Structure 1
């Protein structure tokens, strides 16, 4: 049987952000293990949390990924109670307050810290690598619609754009018509934000006769990018690639024009483990994403369990980047779900119920219509209920609007799910 022809991807002269993207696997592992040893040594000295959980660990003894896999896992779900008990960061901080550039808040609430950019770390969040792969080059104006309020996404991508040498319009979220005015006047080339908001901008611009044709490239994240939405955005003139990151970790992985999986950032070590444990799964098996960040000593993250599901892909990308690849975000190991770029947790639904004792059972259903996320809280109640008040509580707790539907007693599925993600990712 004849073998299928290998896909060839044309590589431009300025394809790569730096030489590290094409180094050998052996060179990468050697450099990363050296950085890991230095990180562990620093964390044990600077962080009370790591001093405790890594007691007895000799940094010099961590000479392989197998040795790394024996270290304790820090779970995202454990951060909120730890931070509340020992503010500001639960003892995980690895720098003095004078060395911190920003503290951020994420849903939970959780808090994160990033050190000040400097000559050795001009891009602490490391999204520049992903932005470069998406087509961002020095001098390109970036229209950044990630939030600048409380959460870090806006500042993360802005700092990375600056590291490339790009000016940024800090649009943030909302104010669609004002943003269209800015696009018409400033003519940005690159969009950063969620794919659904890019769709809204392009459609509203067409409806109002506002020019958006300057936008040619985009780095999107914060929510799923179905193939149908990617194709729709491309048909409207904007070629987008995805990034995968979190507030605690910065960039984890990103797409290249080859569109074959997501390439791991050069400053992270990613393990795929059996959910709820720290045990690596077999190559190619779906498991929980556990990340060690080698480039943010101000807030060390060593074997941080994200709660996200993915799997390692075999081989390397046809684009020539040699770092390992993952299949991308494949859901959550728990029921936490991302809607319009915001995490919604079972605990938040419990908070809504606590505000309305008449609710006896609740189930949040997340759907997508025309590639736009929507959520409906289905509730069983005892007696009368003010659905408007429940909707207000849902928005106050989750920071997103949702519909309220009263269900007959005993009609909600008895499957243990507080959040049901009914979206299709095909």
Structure 2
């Protein structure tokens, strides 16, 4: 009999069996890449690698890490797709990987990919608390692979499914809130800032936030890491039983929290993940922040082998109390958003956590200004609306300086874009218009 919350027998495998499963699948991926994909044929030849040398997951270290810029260069040289990393070109579905610097890579997934993606998506949502029977409402930007996975999920589950495709812009909150009120979903999957857009829309209609989320048992949030304090805030604000964090990328990362809530378990059908030194790509101990590097475990579509996703994250040491063998990760933010002030470096997530722990400012909307970093200072633009700015104004600057050990400048603004709430951006003042 399966343990409560487990999707199938794989969730109860010993870790050694999961590693053997991954080793077999990656060996097949490497065989495909070595024999038929020009991009990897060149890379393997450069380092003298043959799939016959791959006997365990540790042997991935024999291969170089591929960065996004190298794929963009391959696209520039080819002048078109495919670029030499894809297997299967007939009856494909397309999605987009959109970089933080505005570059775009198209990904094509053939029909053979669908069975794996369906199984992975079902497992991920089961871990997040989705169950057959009750209505569900999930959303994703239409260009993302998650939108494709949701379509497969809706077809596979014996449940009424409402799927919102398109955009997370706050201006559409009224339509999504109307759908939530009409269908009363038990499971809700949303982009983190959009949760706050729904709360604002509910209040505009004279509803309490808990009324807007009435009947929702599990709220899965994506798009940004959540701090422990923000999780508690969301539960108190919405009245849902459980807030679940999930993370993923079109290239193949997928990780979801279990019921214990101590890190996000890697969904085993998708990718093996390493967290490596961000400068050298050497191995680092679990618990230390580094670059997130993935290797796909399915042999169809675009194959990403030791691919640096552009994220920074932490692998959790040891086994999870839930009993699942899959390793746990916390994706902390984009590498391009790493803030450097003097000898210190940190992410917007760290600043958000510092606000919460230093002065109890939970769920604040703020941005980090690049101009301050250039002057050796952490310059924050913080929204006054919704908080008692007078109570924290006098102590926020010093509290953050003590907590982060860097010079801090705090600037207050009457209001800031709702889309920044929970996902603080790193921007230049010129990008803010008249603010």
For the superposition of Structure 1 and Structure 2, which TM-score range results when normalised by the shorter chain? 0.7 to 0.9
Secondary structure at the residue paired with 1:205? helix
1:23-422 pair list within 5 angstroms: 23-55=13-45, 56-89=48-81, 91-107=83-99, 108-116=102-110, 121-123=115-117, 126-148=120-142, 150-172=143-165, 173-174=168-169, 175-208=172-205, 209=207, 211-235=212-236, 236-238=238-240, 239-251=242-254, 253-267=255-269, 268-295=271-298, 297-326=300-329, 328-335=330-337, 371-373=421-423, 375=425, 377-378=427-428, 394=431, 402-403=432-433
CA–CA distance in structure 1, aligned partners of residues 303 and 80 of structure 2: 14
Distance 1:39 1:80 in 2: 22
- Number of paired residues? 355
Separation in 2, partners of 1:284, 1:376: 25
Measure, in 1, the Cα distance between the counterparts of 2:381 and 2:248: 23
| Structure 2: tracts of 5 or more residues without a match | 340-346, 350-373, 387-420
Kept in 1: contact 2:128–2:256 (CA 8 A): no
Residue 207 of structure 1: how far off its partner (Å): 4.0
Q: 1:303 to 1:273 in 2, by over 3 A?
A: same
58-67 or 111-120: bigger deviation: 111-120
Displacement, 1:222?
0.7
Q: How far apart are the structure 2 equivalents of 1:105 and 1:339?
A: 22
What is the root-mean-square deviation of aligned Cα atoms in Å?
Answer: 3.4
Using the TM superposition, name which of 369-378 and 253-262 deviates more: 369-378
Q: What is the rounded CA distance, in whole Å, between the counterparts of 1:367 and 1:18 in structure 2?
A: 47
- Contact persistence 1:73–1:303 (CA under 8 A): yes
Residue 254 of structure 1 and its aligned partner are, at CA, apart by 1.7
In structure 2, distance between residues paired with 1:257 and 1:191: 16
Cα separation, partners in 2 of 1:22 and 1:120, compared to 1, 3 Å: farther
Partners of 1:111 and 1:61 in 2: CA distance: 31
CA contact (8 A) 2:37 2:86 kept: yes
Asked whether the equivalents of residues 368 and 374 of structure 1 are also in contact (C-alpha less than 8 Å), the reply is no
The one-character-per-residue Cα deviations of 1:377-402 (angstroms, maximum 9, x if unpaired) are 545xxxxxxxxxx5xxx4xxxxxxx4
Distance in 2 between residues matched to 1:21 and 1:367, nearest whole Å: 44
1:285 to partner: Cα distance: 2.8
Q: Which one is further off, 162-171 or 191-200?
A: 162-171
CA distance in 1, matches of 2:229, 2:84: 41
Shift in alpha-carbon separation, 1:109–1:139, aligned structure 2, 3 A: farther
SS of corresponding position for 1:69: helix
How far the C-alpha of 1:182 sits from its partner, in A, is 1.5
For residue 297 of structure 1, report the CA deviation from its aligned partner.
Answer: 2.0
Counterpart of 2:359?
none
SS in 1 for 2:17: helix
Output the TM-score relative to the length of structure 2. 0.71
Deviates more, 1:259-268 or 1:125-134: 125-134
| Distance of 1:257 and 1:231 partners within structure 2 | 15
Q: How does 1:12-27 map to 2 (within 5 A)?
A: 13-27=3-17
Distance 2:33 2:158 in 1: 32
SS of equivalent residue, structure 1 residue 81: helix
- Say if 1:282 and 1:227 are closer, same or farther in 2 by CA, change over 3 A: closer
Residues 365 and 131 from structure 1, CA distance in 2 versus in 1: closer, same or farther, beyond 3 angstroms? farther
Q: Is the alpha carbon distance of 1:135 and 1:377 closer, same or farther for their aligned partners in structure 2, counting shifts above 3 Å? A: closer
The 3 A distance-change label for structure 1 pair 271 and 250 is closer
Using the alignment, how far apart are the partners of 2:378 and 2:91 within structure 1?
41
Alpha carbons of 1:227 and 1:156: their partners in 2 closer, same or farther (altered >3 Å)?
A: same
Report how far residue 287 of structure 1 moved: 1.7
Please state how far the C-alpha of 1:367 moved relative to its aligned partner.
5.9
Contact 2:291–2:313 (CA under 8 A) maintained in structure 1: yes
